[in-house]
Amino acid sequence: MTNLLEGNSCVFGLQWGDEGKGKIVDFLGEQADVVVRYCGGANAGHTVRIGNEKYATHLLPVGIFRPGVLNVIGNGVVLDPEVLFKEIDEFLSRGIAISPVNLKISYKTHLVMPWHKQEDAAREMASEGNSIGTTRRGIGPAYADKMQRSTALRVADLMHEEKLKQRIGQIVTERNKVLDCLYEVPPMDWKAIFEQYRDHGRRMAPFVDDTTQTLLAAMREQKRILFEGAHAVLLDVDHGTYPYVTSSNCSALGLFTGAGVPPQACQNYIGIMKSYSTRVGGGPFPTEQNNDTGNYIRERGNEYGTTTRRPRRCGWFDAVAVKYSVDLCGVTQIAMTLLDVLSGLEHLRICTGYKHRGQRLEAFRADMDVLAEVEPVYETMPGFNGNISGCRRFEELPKEAQLYVKRIEQLCGVPVKMVSVGPERSATLMR
Ligand code: IMP
């Protein structure tokens, strides 16, 4: 296989998530010694197919499927131990080896607690019509507590049981008052929560690590590190379509704080994008096709959430939005996924600009009020037909499909080095 990983790489989504990062990280994982998750939590969902087996990961780095790869959960993640151990148990029962030898968890990683999930769900229900459309996995409240500090718990806290007991007692007393007052949620039992997290801590202890030191050692030994982004640039809490974003810095810009490594740690920035656009939850989506085209893409692309099974909103490829992500994160190469999904459409459209109140906008604006009003300007190209999933070289693709990829590459200004035409590892064309 072409050597894509000269130095260390970060793989991350360029749109609103669900770009098929799992498959590409798994594919590149063949050349990596270490795979690191640096942001998000169990709101993420990466799907990997190996042979006839299909695996959905929410917290474990995708390198877990490759023997010999070290997997790291970085401090930028918010960790729900219940989900983690469920995932570990499922994969163990399916023959995947997981132990402290191939999985390390940063002691600085913050925990998702039961009250975070309660608050997430209660807030979403209470703000009917004005909700973010979260995954209800407690992500926003967990990150809010991280910044709040006095009400947060980290993996390190699980290692000190007496202190953990006191802290959980104090926090639950306070949370019960707030949740009752604002959302009439029944009170939580602090003792049951303490016992549950004490047990999680005991099971987690062998995996807990100073992951910065582990990663610095890997860098000194010139091991290849792959930083696995979750979510995507347009969902980044600072740079995405705020407030319809997730609560972490899930663009490539978050990797240094989230993995706990110096800026020299990464040389390649591999952006993943679909050949069209999707998003789940609320928020403006200029190229959305709430029509037969959108339905066609959703059904062919199985565009239903890995984590929540919600139907995803589907639309044409938005080059304005992707160019913003590419420039913001210094993308050095692109992987395009799901090209096969577009087969059978008579015409393909690419959004090459926006019009806002009669004026052409030169660049994407991560401002909800502007985005809600923009009108996409499209370029139309001929579509292609037939099953392209068997193609193994770019030149084997129908000419129209090649032209479509090349036009997008031109608009993004960065080479599209990989094109994925099917779910299997092997259905990936290198250019
Ligand atoms: P949260 O991350 O659960 O707080 O959800 C905030 C927003 O981000 C919602 O619109 C979610 O649907 C969206 N979101 C979070 N994670 C993902 C993902 O992995 N793919 C796509 N959308 C996501």
Over range 70-78, report the average pLDDT. 98
Active site residue 18: yes
139 lines ligand 1 (CB under 6 A): yes
Distance 192 CA to ligand 1 centre (A): 29
Active site residue 236: no
Q: Measure CA of the first residue to CA of the last residue in the chain; give whole Å.
A: 11
What is the Cα–Cα distance from 278 to 19, expressed in whole angstroms? 9
Distance 40 CA to ligand 1 centre (A): 9
- How much is the mean pLDDT over the chain? 95
Helix and strand numbers (H, E) in the chain are 12, 20
280 lines ligand 1 (CB under 6 A): yes
- pLDDT tens-digit profile of 83-130? 999 999 999 999 999 999 999 999 999 999 999 999 999 999 998 778
Distance 97 CA to ligand 1 centre (A): 29
Over range 142-167, report the average pLDDT. 97
**Residue 62 near residue 96 (C-beta atoms within 8 A):** no
- pLDDT tens-digit profile of 175-219? 999 989 988 889 999 999 999 999 999 999 999 999 999 999 999
* Statement: residue 28 has pLDDT above 90: no
- pLDDT tens-digit profile of 328-343? 999 999 999 999 999 9
Q: For a substitution probing ligand 1, which of 38, 62, 235 has the most ligand atoms within 8 Å of its CB?
A: 235
* Statement: residue 63 has pLDDT above 60: yes
Active site residue: 46, 110, 200, 239, which one?
A: 46
What was the pLDDT predicted at 25? 83
What is the Cα–Cα distance from 317 to 107, expressed in whole angstroms? 40
Active site residue: 18, 145, 236, 318, which one?
A: 18
* Statement: residue 4 has pLDDT above 60: no
278 lines ligand 1 (CB under 6 A): no
**Residue 174 near residue 151 (C-beta atoms within 8 A):** yes
* Statement: residue 392 has pLDDT above 80: yes
Distance 14 CA to ligand 1 centre (A): 14
140 lines ligand 1 (CB under 6 A): yes
Distance 283 CA to ligand 1 centre (A): 11
134 lines ligand 1 (CB under 6 A): yes
What is the Cα–Cα distance from 65 to 53, expressed in whole angstroms? 11
Q: How many CB atoms lie within 10 A of CB 234?
A: 29
